[in-house]
Structure 1
Amino acid sequence: MLRWGALLLALAACLLLGLAVGQQWMNPLDATGQDAVILWQLRLPRVLVAFAVGGLLALAGAWFQVLLGNPLAEPYVLGVAGSASAGAVTGLMILPESAWAMSLGAFAGAWIGIIAVMLFSRLGASRMLLAGVVLAAFWSAILALLLALLPEQGLFRAFAWMMGDLSHSDVPVPVLLLAWAIALSCGLMLSRSLDKLLLGERHAEALGVNVKQLRTRLLWLASAVTALSVTAAGTIGFVGLVVPHLMRLIFGSLHKAVLPASAIGGGLLLLLADTTARTIIAPAELPVGVLTAIIGVPVFLLLLLRRG
């Protein structure tokens, strides 16, 4: 049953990828001149970025939920989004003309936020989660200060990035796809230990799991994936929160099924949201982060009602 479900999900992914690229995807050799440029240099890279980033965020969400023992956990709950945003705006202030300044600042800011949270990791999952919430408020205050100091010509770019921007990613597409494949492979190698950790730390240790080592690996892995995703596409919320829940409802709680389904389902969700954002008010474009929040909030509330 799980294999058939995964196969159908993969086929749906291929179908939506084709639809998102456009009609010329069906016969790309016919694309010439301006159409070829739009197809190969604009549409296809954006589709691949959306799929990879969505999958990475969903994987990170599934890991954080196990790591913290909290179903409400997601990649941004530890304040990573706020610190990355502060880093991106700082980079824009220092080098406003550099295309890489915002991305490098976001990557550095994300890791600063991650290291700050890791200082509390020895105190337990609940305190680490509380520290993340407090640090998120701190980074929001820093971000507000930086935006107040930012020159007016940089405000539009900063706000666009903060609401999610897949059109100006400075991270190469092959790097994102390779990160997606590596992250999924690492998750599958840890899937049995993750299943045991769901039973509780004492039960997992009794079954031969080194809980401390597993938590450290999960924290570094999920943090690195989140930092890369934020650097590539800005702050896009709710993908890592909603997708793992949906996949568990469909495929059960075993991580050997949940993780591949989340990696594909997260990519599909962000791809669908980005396609909708580009077309719903064309030729204008909605921020994809706003659309994922609009989609994610009702779905998550529905999940809470079903669990209730």
Structure 2
Amino acid sequence: MLRWLALFIAVAACLLLGMATGEQWINPFSASDTLEQTILWELRFPRLLTAFAVGGLLALAGAWFQVLLGNPLAEPYVLGVAGSASAGAVTGLMFIPESAWVMSAGAFIGAWIGIVAVMFFSHLGPNRMLLAGVVLAAFWSAVLALLLALLPEQGLFRAFSWMMGDLSHSDLPVPLLLLAWIIALGCGLLLSKSLDRLLLGERHAEALGVDVKRLRQRLLLLASAVTALAVTAAGTIGFVGLVIPHLMRLLFGSLHRAVLPASAIGGGLLLVLADSAARTVIAPAELPVGILTAIIGVPVFLFLLLRRN
């Protein structure tokens, strides 16, 4: 109970810190000026809620992919969904370079093309599906490089900003992202017992009444859809789905009825912190938030890899 309370207090504190920090320091409790109120409630607060929802979705997807692939080092972009979304976003910019909506629509369509491609290999088992995902990721990277070479100059800055993770141009409605966060968490909790049994191995899970093939298909579709929505909203932000599930397992144990809600909250907490730092470190300019999550995630990834060996 104390750990959960500490987690909720940390989220509230980070939201307040994120509202206060930026190009201009504003006290959320004493802001009386109309301009300050506008900055707080119409600019910073919706962006922080977007960061919280996107971080939570990525962390949930990471927890699901790690069970789905039987690999503790898996994360949401391992199957090439982010690469296909990036290719779709840049394709949209080729037609209308200044339209964020076209870029978001292209990213969502591209992500689902990547999901369909991965689903085609799902019947081969987790190991071959992982290998197919790695090959598809390399293919989408090549397609993306070709598209960037053909992209008009006025769209290059927006494309590179989005590819490094950018919350400043997110056009998806905040209520939609929060609703997706709630639905994804609810679906995860409904599958939590089956996920716990799958951790014991396929044979043990089947002996306990789990339809492993159907469960894997549901997990793949759910995790990929969540990743597609998160990528559409904020671009490619890596390592949140890798770091947070492991950290929450250390704090709350391995049962998914605790790991999934803790990951959904912890992922949001990490991205809120990273976004607040990205807006503050070199203010008035901004760092891409994906750079900060990578700076945190790469050392953790290497530590987990060495620990596993």
TM-score band, normalised by the shorter chain? over 0.9
- The reply to whether residue 250 of structure 1 matches residue 251 of structure 2 is yes
Q: Is the 8 A contact 1:54 1:266 kept in 2?
A: yes
Q: Is the 8 A contact 2:66 2:75 kept in 1?
A: yes
Q: How many residues align?
A: 304
Counterparts of 1:204 and 1:139 in 2: how far apart (Å)? Answer: 34
* Alignment-mate amino acid for residue 67 of structure 1: L
Aligned to 2:6: 8
Counterparts of 2:306 and 2:130 in 1: how far apart (Å)? Answer: 24
Shift of 1:94: 1.3
Shift of 1:227: 0.4
Aligned to 2:23: none
Matches within 5 A, 1:1-308: 3-22=1-20, 23-27=26-30, 30-307=31-308
Shift of 1:255: 0.5
Shift of 1:307: 4.5
Q: Tell me, what secondary structure is at the counterpart of 2:196? A: helix
* Alignment-mate amino acid for residue 142 of structure 2: A
Q: Tell me, what secondary structure is at the counterpart of 1:100? A: helix
* Alignment-mate amino acid for residue 117 of structure 1: V
Counterparts of 1:78 and 1:168 in 2: how far apart (Å)? Answer: 25
RMSD (Å) for aligned C-alpha atoms:
1.2
Counterparts of 1:76 and 1:199 in 2: how far apart (Å)? Answer: 25
Shift of 1:305: 4.2
* Alignment-mate amino acid for residue 284 of structure 2: P
Counterparts of 1:166 and 1:301 in 2: how far apart (Å)? Answer: 27
1:170-210 CA-to-partner distances (Å, cap 9, x unmatched) read 10000001111111111111111100000011100100111
Which runs of 5 or more structure 2 residues have no equivalent in the other structure? 21-25
Counterparts of 1:194 and 1:25 in 2: how far apart (Å)? Answer: 41
Q: TM-score, normalised by structure 1?
A: 0.96
Q: Is the 8 A contact 1:24 1:39 kept in 2?
A: no
Counterparts of 1:43 and 1:304 in 2: how far apart (Å)? Answer: 37
Q: TM-score, normalised by structure 2?
A: 0.96
Q: Is the 8 A contact 1:164 1:287 kept in 2?
A: yes
Q: Tell me, what secondary structure is at the counterpart of 2:97? A: coil
User: How high is the sequence identity, in percent, across the aligned residues?
Assistant: 78
Counterparts of 1:163 and 1:31 in 2: how far apart (Å)? Answer: 35
* Alignment-mate amino acid for residue 263 of structure 2: S
Counterparts of 1:102 and 1:123 in 2: how far apart (Å)? Answer: 33
Counterparts of 1:5 and 1:206 in 2: how far apart (Å)? Answer: 34
Task: Identify if the C-alpha distance between structure 1 residues 302 and 97 changes in structure 2 by more than 3 Å, giving closer, same or farther.
Answer: closer
Task: Identify if the C-alpha distance between structure 1 residues 60 and 208 changes in structure 2 by more than 3 Å, giving closer, same or farther.
Answer: same
Q: Is the 8 A contact 1:164 1:234 kept in 2?
A: yes
Q: Tell me, what secondary structure is at the counterpart of 2:284? A: coil
Which runs of 5 or more structure 1 residues have no equivalent in the other structure? none
Q: Tell me, what secondary structure is at the counterpart of 1:26? A: coil
